[in-house]
Structure 1
Amino acid sequence: MSSSPNGTGDSPSHLDALLTRMKSAASPLREVLREIHAKYASLDDGVVASYIPELAKANPAWFGISAVSVQGQSIDVGDSDQQFTIQSASKPFTFGLALEDHGREHVLSKIGVQPIGEAFNSITLDQVANRPFNPMINAGAIAAADLVHGKDYPERVTRMIEMFGRYCGRTVYVDNSVFTSERMTGHRNRAIGHLMLNFDMVSDQLDETLELYFKQCSLLVTCHDLAVMGATLANGGVNPVTGVRAIDAEYVKDLLSVMHTCGMYDYAGEWAYRIGIPAKSGVGGGIVAVIPGQGGIGTFSPKLDVKGNSVRGIKVFEELAQRFGLHVFEADDKKQSLVSQFSPPK
């Protein structure tokens, strides 16, 4: 491996990231995140997901919080570098790829944007409009994966993985153990897919699409990755760490809209009421959230509530929303600039 001029072996990009983190060391936000992490680290409510057998192996004590600003500053607390599978937190991003491939009107003819207040794996379809209700439930996510372009299955997989890499700012990989576990136990998702095929809601490449969907959910990320992904959407689709565009700017509002109204399973309405920021959770324990124009926040803790959301993650966002006035409809005099909290006081 080649060394940098300083002889450390670190690439310039790694050094830049290290310097950014060092500059954030004394930030007010770091102290807040440390305090919140300590407050909820002992919270033992919820259970680790087990309907996908590999997920049951997660350590219930894992708990990380990360924040990344639109200027590329980052703060990480706890198990922020612990890898886990992204699961349903992947759904907004594949929806974005479908939008880029087909345009808004075509995608809307295939997938609705209506919250339904039912479980994420509900076998419920909009039979009037002949489409799944929204892209944040499994039916809609499978339909979104079906729209990913490619001359064959390998190209579709490659395009999907490269897209997530642009959001994370690094190469991402599939956890093959989780992927295999999802394939072997994904009977309900197959049933949803075949029901949609029966109504011509998806193409006849359904078997490939289901494989693509299982791989999408089995991508390995960290809490820090989720924060970078959120910051990329907060930054108009440009990754603030790498400067690489991950999605066309015109479609960012589409992702944020469905995250805000449909992103937290059948807790979405209460989330919008209590916390009020676009977010998406996954049964791996991750939550990615976006504060438009300011940054992204990622949390990770595997123990879930009955709706499938991370118990500790919910508590983190409740505290942050209250402390910084993050709710989109919060009175202006109660809102604080999250970006300003990354830097030490002058």
Structure 2
Amino acid sequence: MQCQSQPELEQLVAEARGYARLGKAADYIPALQKVDPELLSVSLFYPDGCHFTAGDGNQKLTLQSISKVITLALAIMDRGAEYVFERVGQEPTGDPFNSIAKLETINPSKPLNPMINAGALAITSMIKGNSIKERLDRILDFIHDLTGNSAVSYNAEVASSEFETSHLNRALCYFMKQSKVINEDVEELMELYSKQCSIEMDCLALAEMGCVFAMDGFNTETEKQVMPRDVARICKTFMITCGMYNASGEFAINVGIPAKSGVSGGIMAAVPGKCGIGVFGAALDEKGNSLAGLKLLEMMSRKYSLSMF
């Protein structure tokens, strides 16, 4: 896959933009309702530093569930894969990302994977540090290494909005605390998780992160191995099997690259050995994925033969 021309990329965005009218911005997090649902942008970042952005590229987005890939990588580096997966499973689920059902029915009672909310909360609880600030700073430092941008931080308004309205996530935490999956104060974990999900960047930074995963944890810009190759491999595997909520199988068929979405409308994709892709389109489908973003990635995958399969 070679660098595309700017007009070609703009044309793909224009073709996909109309799909945004079929969805709506996330309404259960008040701060996310304020974003124009018809915004759409995409960035590609290549290992040689070549990059392109089309659409509303200056618009920032919060990571939301995309951050689950970042904290998974950091938790494995902190604790080791054996520790992590003794407490969180590795299997896809057909349930919604915020479902509590499987926690109640499986034995032992642990989250099925790190990409659903229960699993992500358990993963965040494994991040080392002596305070919320220290743990958040470690997540941000890792993202700075991934993006090469030390200015990336979190959106305080979105974090506060999420913290005040995340009643279902609190229920998941208390259930897992009862089962000894989580062993810390729930409100402290919720504060850290809300800030983690509210980390903010533009599409280009999202594509840069995707490129590091695509290159097996190596940041070609800084020439630094940001994470071990095996950690990047594990994360990309979860992105393929669980990264697009309970539409992951369909996405694997139609697009076929490791990707993780978030309810802000962001998608981070990693085309193995080739490039990273960042997409933002705030209008979501019923499963929580960006409608126009999905269509745009499907068009790009077909046009440039991106699928792994």
TM-score by length of 1: 0.85
Gaps of 5+ in 2: none
Contact kept in structure 1, 2:255 and 2:297, CA below 8 Å: yes
Cα distance in 2 between the residues matched to 1:50 and 1:206: 24
1:112 has 2:89 as partner: yes
Contact kept in structure 2, 1:86 and 1:286, CA below 8 Å: yes
> By how many angstroms is 1:152 displaced?
2.5
- Which residue in 1 is equivalent to 2:302? 322
1:69 has 2:46 as partner: yes
Q: Which of 277, 290, 304 is 2:284 aligned to? A: 304
- Which residue in 2 is equivalent to 1:142? 121
In the comparison of the two structures, how many residue pairs are matched? 304
Cα distance in 1 between the residues matched to 2:87 and 2:144: 26
1:42 has 2:5 as partner: no
> By how many angstroms is 1:206 displaced?
3.3
- Which residue in 2 is equivalent to 1:32? 8
Cα distance in 1 between the residues matched to 2:273 and 2:298: 20
| Dislocated runs of 4+, deviation >6 Å | none
1:101 has 2:81 as partner: no
1:86 has 2:66 as partner: no
Question: What SS class does the counterpart of residue 298 from structure 1 fall into?
Answer: strand
Question: What SS class does the counterpart of residue 280 from structure 1 fall into?
Answer: strand
- Which residue in 1 is equivalent to 2:178? 198
Gaps of 5+ in 1: 1-25, 330-346
Cα distance in 2 between the residues matched to 1:293 and 1:65: 19
- Which residue in 2 is equivalent to 1:163? 142
> By how many angstroms is 1:207 displaced?
2.7
- Which residue in 2 is equivalent to 1:285? 265
Contact kept in structure 1, 2:16 and 2:293, CA below 8 Å: no
Cα distance in 2 between the residues matched to 1:58 and 1:324: 30
> By how many angstroms is 1:29 displaced?
4.6
Cα distance in 2 between the residues matched to 1:180 and 1:251: 31
Contact kept in structure 2, 1:287 and 1:313, CA below 8 Å: yes
> By how many angstroms is 1:27 displaced?
4.8
- Which residue in 1 is equivalent to 2:210? 230
Query: What is the identity, as a one-letter code, of the residue corresponding to 1:281?
Result: S
Give deviations 1:172-202, integer Å, cap 9, x for gaps.
1111111110111011100000000000011
**Cα distance 1:29–1:260, how it changes in 2: closer, same or farther (>3 A)?**
farther
Cα distance in 1 between the residues matched to 2:163 and 2:4: 44
> By how many angstroms is 1:78 displaced?
1.3
Query: What is the identity, as a one-letter code, of the residue corresponding to 2:13?
Result: H
Give deviations 1:184-239, integer Å, cap 9, x for gaps.
10111000000000000111343322211111101111111111110011112122
> By how many angstroms is 1:130 displaced?
3.1
Cα distance in 1 between the residues matched to 2:223 and 2:55: 27
Cα distance in 1 between the residues matched to 2:195 and 2:226: 19
Q: Which of 54, 69, 77 is 2:31 aligned to? A: 54
Of stretches 152-161 and 228-237 in structure 1, the one that deviates more from structure 2 is 152-161
Contact kept in structure 2, 1:287 and 1:300, CA below 8 Å: yes
Q: Which of 107, 126, 138 is 1:128 aligned to? A: 107
Of stretches 220-229 and 165-174 in structure 1, the one that deviates more from structure 2 is 165-174
Identity level (%): 38
Cα distance in 1 between the residues matched to 2:221 and 2:55: 21
Cα distance in 1 between the residues matched to 2:112 and 2:220: 32
Cα distance in 2 between the residues matched to 1:284 and 1:242: 29
Query: What is the identity, as a one-letter code, of the residue corresponding to 1:35?
Result: Q
> By how many angstroms is 1:165 displaced?
1.6
Of stretches 161-170 and 27-36 in structure 1, the one that deviates more from structure 2 is 27-36
Query: Greater Rg, structure 1 or structure 2?
Result: 1
Contact kept in structure 2, 1:81 and 1:224, CA below 8 Å: no
Query: What is the identity, as a one-letter code, of the residue corresponding to 1:266?
Result: N
TM-score by length of 2: 0.94
Query: What is the identity, as a one-letter code, of the residue corresponding to 2:212?
Result: T
